Amino acid sequence: MSRTNEPVPENLIHLIDLVIKILRKLGFNRAISYGVLTRVWGLISGPITILMIGTRLTKVEQGFYYTISSLLALQLFFELGLMTVIAQFASHEFAHLTWGDKGEIDGDPQAKERFIDLLSKGAKWFSLASVALILVLAPVGLVFLGKEADVAVDFGWRLPWVLAVVGTALNLFTVPFFAVVMGSGDVATVNHREMMGAVVSSVLCWTVLAIHGRLYAASAVTTGGFVISWIYLLREKPAMLKMAWHRITGRSGPQKPEARIYWWREVWPLQWKLALTWVAGYFVFQLFTPVLFRYQGAVVAGQMGMTLSAANALLGVSLTWINARTPEFGKLVAKREWGQLDSLLRKVLLQSSAVSCAGATVGALLIWLLQLHYPIGQRFIPAPHAALFFAGIVFNVIVAALGGYLRAHKQEPFLPLSITLGFVQGGATWLLGMKYSTLGVTAGFCAVNLVITLPVAFVIWNNFRKKWHTD
């Protein structure tokens, strides 16, 4: 007998309502949901990838695989934070625009022209950056990896490396298109593309490993994101691509001076500052594992690496709340609606801080329980050390929210702080890691963020907020 007409239990309805209320309080929307799902997928796919690498690659091949991945991360030095800058400028222009069918743009003619000019100049910049990445990174990797390969190896690594670099460059070229989409406020699309790219990349990587493709798995990872990105752009935003192409090739006709983006006068002053901020942050977060590897050995470095992966997942999930609201910050600044801007910051701070605090607590407790009862727990650094590290991540989330607020004004007042932290945090990591192992690097990370980063960032935010909103 059919049971489809049976009423839903009242307790279940109340439970669903409660869950919905909690999610709304936490600020969940489509953009945040896709962002969180991407991080959740990383937590699921990460162990599977590690397992397949451990069973399908030799120890030497595994070393090459992770070294290739680390070298590909140097793409940051070619991107230089420009995605964030383009998104900020796009959000100001799109305050007066709306999306039409297939990527058409409707609204104020001058804002539309400046929006397209921003996209076309961003595309030119990233086309050059993509070519430069291939010309610089490919030979550097061949030389660097070749030194290790001087010892006889029975597998090919040169072609997989070059293909991985080319895939990374092709992904880099898509950055300006998704930057303007994000700046327009359509963060859900960007996060959805990132989620689908992560899923496809993982599946391609597993497939290559399963058929004994060895190091070609590294290039498969970069291929997934590229394919998903261009499928979306060609299917959903062909009109935007056409307008950008016409502007690049000069087929759109002459521009009025007020309808142009003057790159060196408007964009570059923020770009170079944010680029230095990103580079400083890169060195800070990349020093933990190599310092421990050098002074404490491979086992301790591996424990730190696994803990760092968990911390990055926590940071990524928490930043989803901030990144999803970044276009709203820019639009409110463009409209000079300071009260709503401050209100939105308070909301974002509360939500992202709550998520990061909860995640840090759960993460530290989980590591502690694993170390008490399961051998895999020994793959992490000691739970008290992990707790210190996760606390530092919570402080970073708060500073990230303040930074997003300030950058919405097309300024980067955190630049001196970022450069200073690059030296202070880097030095602390080196000295404390050399003498006190994981306790030293985690205590140093937490202390620097609590004593220097957080209070100085708050003072900078408060001073510039008062200056900009009273002028």
Position of tokens 């391609």?
A: 204
Structure tokens, 303: 């424990």
Structure tokens, 262: 């003057």
Buried b / exposed e across 319-338, counting CB within 10 Å, b at 16+?
Answer: bbbbbbbbbbbbbbbbeeee
d(CA 384, CA 439): 9
Q: What is the mean pLDDT of residues 204-212?
A: 89
d(CA 405, CA 251): 37
Whether pLDDT at 26 is above 70: no
Higher-scoring residue by pLDDT: 403, 277: 403
Query: For residue 280, how far is the Cα from the chain centroid?
Result: 15
| Residue 265 buriedness (CB in 10 A; 0-12 / 13-18 / 19+) | exposed
| 146-147-149-152 Cα dihedral, nearest 10 degrees | 130
Q: What is the mean pLDDT of residues 307-315?
A: 79
Q: Which among 285, 39, 64 is positioned nearest to 156, based on CA atoms? A: 64
Q: What was the pLDDT predicted at 90?
A: 84
pTM score: 0.65
Whether pLDDT at 298 is above 60: no
What confidence category does residue 17 fall into, taking pLDDT thresholds of 50, 70 and 90? Answer: low
pLDDT digit string, tens, across residues 52-107: 776 787 766 766 776 677 677 778 788 877 887 888 788 877 877 888 888 788 88
Q: Which among 447, 54, 435, 460 is positioned nearest to 277, based on CA atoms? A: 460
Conformational region of residue 325, where left means phi above 0, alpha means psi within -120 to 50, and beta covers everything else:
alpha
What confidence category does residue 1 fall into, taking pLDDT thresholds of 50, 70 and 90? Answer: very low
Q: What was the pLDDT predicted at 32?
A: 59
Report CA Rg, the chain: 23
Structural domain spans, the chain: 27-261, 263-471
Measured from the Cβ of residue 59, the count of other Cβ atoms closer than 10 Å reads 7
CA distances from 317 to 45, 237, 460 (A): 15, 28, 25
| Residue 284 buriedness (CB in 10 A; 0-12 / 13-18 / 19+) | buried
Whether pLDDT at 4 is above 60: no
d(CA 445, CA 428): 8
Q: Which among 95, 50, 86 is positioned nearest to 69, based on CA atoms? A: 50
First CA to last CA distance, the chain? 73
What confidence category does residue 380 fall into, taking pLDDT thresholds of 50, 70 and 90? Answer: confident
CA distances from 376 to 48, 365, 372 (A): 15, 14, 10
Structure tokens, 330: 């820019």
Q: What is the mean pLDDT of residues 120-131?
A: 89
Buried b / exposed e across 407-446, counting CB within 10 Å, b at 16+?
Answer: bbbbbbbbbebbeebbebbbebbbebbeeebbbbbbbbbb
Q: What was the pLDDT predicted at 432?
A: 93
The count of C-alpha atoms lying within 13 angstroms of the C-alpha of 273, restricted to the half-sphere facing its C-beta, is 18
Share of the chain above pLDDT 90, in %: 16
pLDDT digit string, tens, across residues 398-432: 998 998 888 888 777 888 888 888 889 888 988 99
Residue 97: its H or E element: strand 97-99
Structure tokens, 409: 């004004």
